[in-house]
Structure 1
Amino acid sequence: MGKLGEGLSRYQKLGFCSFHTPGHKGREEFFDGLDFRSFDLTELPGLDMLHSPSGIIAEAQKRSAEVFGAEETFFLINGGTVGNQAMFLSLEETSDKRVVVERSSHRSVMSALVLSGRKPHYVIPTVHPEFNLPLGLDVGKQRIPWPEISACHVTYPSYYGTGFELNQLLDERKRMGCNTPILVDQAHGSHYLGPLFPPSALELGADLVLHSSHKTLSALTQSAMLHVQGDRISRTRLRQSLEILQSSSPSYLLLASLERAGEFALNFGRWASLREEVETLHRKVGRNFRILSQKDAGSYDIHTVDWSKILINTLPLGVPASRCVEYLRESYGIEPELWDEENILFMLGIGNMPEDVRRLTKGLESLAESASGFPRLPGFVELKKRVQYDGNVIPPLPNLILSPREAFFAHKRQISLKESLGHVVGETISPYPPGIPVIVMGELMTPEVLGTLLTAGEGRWQGWDGFRNQTIWVVDQE
């Protein structure tokens, strides 16, 4: 066995309790009857074809469309990324290539702008000051230029389980008398079925909806679904886009797991038992941590909160999130989805069991009791002092000089960050959290953005190639 296989084997033997993707959590019941060796097949007689289905794949996709309430469903075997990209490629050619995009969209949306040549018209999410994360969106404040855009792409719910008033966006489109497609990245809400969860984007009336079925449902990693309804999107163009983006040798294991994920998604009893334990967790440890909860709906432009995402802020404890994660991993074998300086996200999936949540509750109770003995980190509690720009923590948006596609293919050079003011930036740079780009390739460097980057600490930066030596890629305009 090679190094990669050995590493996977070592990790599996550690026996961590999963609060991260994938949603099946490694439970065998979701894969009973699937022979992983003999089912690793290609497109053979009787096994249908993903890009031109007429047999068993077509039947499986039709059944999934029925389960999730779509007119047609496409199985994706290159992850949710190709779903976002296909959305943009499937848009009809118009005189105005602008597309409404949330500034905090997943990186696959930014890559979709490069592939399609569309120009973004950004809408700005609302950052919750207690978590320093983009958790809300005020649709009424955005002033979307409906007659001038070719589509509107939004994220619902956020990574952290918060949802904005999507129905308000759909109502506004109707009121304006526009036929603009509304595209929804519902990657983290593929489990939105039944009364335990907020309404799905399909139920509310969106045109194209992406589900990353592996995140919270039982599908294998890298498998997703793209759902479509109505006539605002050309089905032919959508199929052609997916054929361009997806492998010509699809994994039948991924396809079979998607078929099963739809059936298991209807098992609402599994989620009901988890919800009871999550409510107990909130009661027992809510005094020691700031936990995102249903009480947050209605504030900071948050309309709904998904209880299956447990977001905990550790500032009240006075201990950095990384130290808390270290304690939970070492003492209780708990593996979170992600963490930053002050937040930890624990993500439930359909494969979690009530005893998993009880284990997390016990671990958090123990953490709260032990925290007083942890060494204090100078300056940690000062994180509460956020830099504000007009009531928000997001600096004013820089001017867009080139489209992301134009900037991507332009000749670029690397210069000192200190000398970048007034240059067109050639890379997209995002602090994480909150994951909102401070600058997107093709935008002009501003004093506000430069000041943010020059004072940047270690943190986690996405897309900044020259962070260590304080350089930045700019478009060579000479």
Structure 2
Amino acid sequence: MFLLSLGEELFKYQEKGFLSFHTPGHKGKREFFEGLNFPEQDLTELSGLDMLHAPQGVIAEAQKRAAQVFGAEESFFLVNGATVGNQAMFLALAGTKGKVLVERQSHRSVMASLVLSGLEPVYLKSIIHPEFHLPLGYEYKIEPQLWRGIQGIHLTYPSYYGTLSDIAPVVRGRELWAPSIPILVDQAHGSHFLSKLFPSGALAWGADLVLHSSHKTLSALTQAAMLHVQGERISRSRLKQALEMLQSSSPSYLLMASLERAVEFAQQENRWNLLFEAVQELHGQAGKALRILNPGDQGQYGIDQLDWSKILVNTSSLGLAAPLAVDFLRTRFRIEPELWDQENILFLLGIGNTPEEVLRLTEGLIAMAEWAHQVNGLGVTPSKLRENTLRSAKELEISLPPLRLTPREAFLAPKRQIPLKESLGKILGESISPYPPGIPWVVMGEEMTPEVLEALLNSPSKRWQGWDNPEHGIWVIEEG
């Protein structure tokens, strides 16, 4: 039996005609790329086309335009995704021997940044939402002593699920206790925060470096992102050096052209206005039968605001496992979500979505709720789902795994591979993240705890990143 080629699989998937409620934000709509020719314009640094790492012409002008639109002093195009932006932010800090305050529920690229920079993390603990069993906010007990000896603070705004914690207390804390400390913000999922329909962007709050994953909700091609900087707390020279080291020396001009286009399309507020009305209708109709994260969740569990373009649905109250619900939506309505676990489904809107597509999602969710009553006779109950649902979201955050080595120390240390069930109490030599969303359950350098071990042993997930080979065990640090 011969497997199809990647190109053939792409065509096969395209022919299924799914409605996209996942990244990228352009949703495959050609209107965002009119006038761009592939493969003729798949070019590199040629005469008249400027150079990404030393821009003086058209790229410099495009980046200047981006800074004006997003409210930065300077903006940089990224062709290696938001991942490289997180890494460059950490390398741009003044020193690499100190500590950095980091959300424990940060993306795995942030943990990789700790390996590259050598900085020691001081984690901000997450708050678990009791109904969704997800870390949708975090604690802000940032007292004076936490600012001493740190090189910076890194926050995620918004979360993958569209929740935003309040940045204002952090900014006030800096003003009071550490005015020279930079605030770095991973705003990967909030590059569309431009109009009054959305929360203010982190630049407006006073962040020094802000990362946009422009392909997630705007119209840029996948892997295209931006990094924005303001103020004097970050060395621009050091930042540019970091980007030059981390990014490709042969940047894609199609990616950069799509970023330039995305800046202009991002200002078309009417697209978002129409989507907003459709989403309010979705909440009004489907919200009667389903538990959907909504404005009523604001002000609790660390949630200050919500991004309405993320639609998080919990299926456990229906007695329906989320994977079954996703199969129903994909089969009956050709709806493709962004991600799901055992009881939650996330639908992600982008600038390329239309109100008609949101209406289709509304119809699909209502039909899914009606169908759930039919399958409840199979013995699947909410209580049973809660037993089978991975308990990591709550249990892993009751107490964070002890940090025994910095991620960099663990990465460079001698390691050996042992069976997973024998790893209790060992210092781990690899980070393990379910993907999506790519948020680590355990980070290299942490000690394996009973809660983490039980969660890994009982997890139904097969989509791991960072775990070298789950079937062969786990890498731990050599003792002695």
Match of 1:412 in 2: 415
Instruction: Name the counterpart of 1:257.
Output: 258
Residues 186-205 of structure 1: pairs in structure 2 closer than 5 A: 186-205=187-206
Report what 1:122 is aligned to: 123
Which stretch shows the higher mean deviation, 438-447 or 199-208? 438-447
CA distance 1:125–1:435, change in 2 (3 Å)? farther
Deviates more, 1:222-231 or 1:456-465: 456-465
Distance 1:334 1:288 in 2: 19
Normalised by the size of structure 1, how large is the TM-score? 0.94
CA deviation string 1:18-70 (max 9, x = no partner): 10111011111111111122211111111100000000000000000000000
1:402 aligned partner, one-letter code: L
Q: Distance in 2 between matches of 1:313 and 1:103?
A: 23
Distance 1:227 1:362, change over 3 A: same
> Contact (CA 8 Å) 1:147, 1:178: kept in 2 or not?
no
Cα distance in structure 2, aligned partners of 1:23 and 1:221:
9
Aligned to 1:35: 37
Say if 2:72 and 2:230, in contact at 8 Å, map to a contact too.
yes
For structure 1, which segment, 318-327 or 426-435, has the greater mean C-alpha deviation from structure 2 after superposition?
426-435
* Structure 2 Cα separation of the partners of residues 139 and 377 of structure 1: 42
**How far does residue 420 in structure 1 lie from its aligned partner after superposition?**
2.7
SS at 1:188's partner residue? helix
Displacement after TM superposition at 1:429 (Å): 2.8
Contact 2:215 2:223 in 1 (8 A): yes
Question: Corresponding residue for 2:77?
Answer: 75
Matched AA of 2:335: I
Which residue matches 1:13? 15
1:446 maps onto 2:446 in alignment: no
- Which SS does the other structure have where 1:262 is aligned? helix
Q: How does 1:350-361 map to 2 (within 5 A)?
A: 350-361=351-362
Counterpart of 2:426 in 1: which secondary structure?
A: coil
Cα deviation, residue 405, structure 1: 1.0
Q: TM-score, normalised to structure 2's length?
A: 0.93
| 1:369 shift after superposition | 1.6
User: 1:473 corresponds to which residue?
Assistant: 475
Q: Using the TM superposition, give the Cα deviation of residue 388 of structure 1 relative to its aligned residue in structure 2, in angstroms.
A: 9.2
Deviation at 1:411, TM superposition (A): 1.3
Matched-pair contact (CA < 8 Å) for 1:188–1:212: yes
Q: How far apart are the structure 1 equivalents of 2:390 and 2:252?
A: 47
**Farther off after superposition, 187-196 or 291-300:** 291-300
Q: Structure 2 stretches of 5 or more lacking a match?
A: none
Q: Which has the larger displacement, 421-430 or 4-13?
A: 421-430
Aligned to 2:271: 270
CA distance, structure 2, for counterparts of residue 467 and residue 339 of structure 1: 21
Query: 2:99 is matched with which residue?
Result: 98
CA distance in 2, matches of 1:272, 1:191: 12
Task: Sort the Cα spacing of 1:3 and 1:100 in 2 relative to 1 into closer, same or farther, 3 A.
Answer: same
SS of aligned partner of 1:374: helix
SS of 1:82's equivalent in the other structure is helix
Deviations 1:191-223 (A, max 9, x none): 000100000001111000000000000000000
Match of 2:431? 428
- Please report how far the alpha carbon of residue 243 of structure 1 lies from its aligned counterpart in structure 2 after TM superposition: 0.5
For residues 362-441 of structure 1, what are the structure 2 equivalents within 5 Å?
A: 362-374=363-375, 376=378, 378=380, 381-384=383-386, 394-430=397-433, 437-441=440-444
Change (3 A) 1:329 1:450: closer
Q: What whole-Å deviation, never above 9, does each CA across 1:266-321 have from its counterpart, x for those lacking one? A: 10110000110101111111121110011111111100001000100001111111
- C-alpha separation between the residues in 1 aligned to 2:265 and 2:143? 38
Work out the CA distance in 1 between the residues paired with 2:297 and 2:39: 47
Residue aligning to 1:84: 86
Q: C-alpha separation between the residues in 1 aligned to 2:433 and 2:142? A: 24
How far the C-alpha of 1:182 sits from its partner, in A, is 0.4
What code does the residue aligned with 2:415 have? K
- Note closer, same or farther for the CA distance 1:239–1:313 as it changes in structure 2 (3 Å cut): same
Structure 1: unaligned runs, 5 residues or longer? none
The CA deviation at 1:472 is 2.3
Residue deviations 1:3-29, cap 9 Å, x none?
111111111111111101110111111
Contact in 2 for aligned 1:133/1:433 (Cα 8 Å): no
Q: What is the CA distance between 1:384 and its match in structure 2?
A: 4.2
The residue number in structure 2 matching 1:215 is 216
CA contact (8 A) 2:187 2:202 kept: yes
Q: Percent identity?
A: 59
Whole-Å separation in 2 of the counterparts to 1:108 and 1:179: 25
The 10-residue stretch of structure 1 (180-189 or 169-178) with the greater mean CA deviation from structure 2: 169-178
Measured after TM superposition, the shift of residue 468 of structure 1 is: 3.7
Distance 1:353 1:447 in 2: 46
Deviations 1:224-277 (A, max 9, x none): 000000010100010010010111111100000000101111101100001101
Report if the CA contact (8 A) 1:124-1:142 is conserved.
no
Partner of 2:57: 55
Q: Measure the CA separation in 2 of the matches of 1:214 and 1:450.
A: 35
Give distance in 1, aligned partners of 2:282 and 2:333.
16
AA aligned opposite 1:357: V
Partner SS state of residue 327, structure 1 = helix
Separation in 1, partners of 2:125, 2:451? 17
Note if contact 2:126-2:139 (Cα within 8 Å) is conserved in structure 1: yes
Partner letter of residue 268 of structure 2? N
What aligned pairs does 1:323-362 form with structure 2 within 5 A after superposition?
323-362=324-363
Q: Aligned in 2, Cα 1:457/1:248: closer, same or farther, shift over 3 Å?
A: closer
CA contact (8 A) 2:184 2:208 kept: yes
Q: Is the 8 A contact 1:388 1:394 kept in 2?
A: no
Structure 1 residue matching 2:416: 3-state secondary structure = strand
SS of equivalent residue, structure 1 residue 62: helix
Q: Corresponding residue for 1:319?
A: 320
CA contact (8 A) 2:72 2:203 kept: yes
Matched letter for residue 11 of structure 1: Y
State the aligned residue count.
474
* Root mean square deviation, CA, Å: 2.3
> 1:457 offset after TM fit, Å?
3.3
Indicate conservation of the 8 Å contact 1:18/1:335, yes or no. Answer: yes
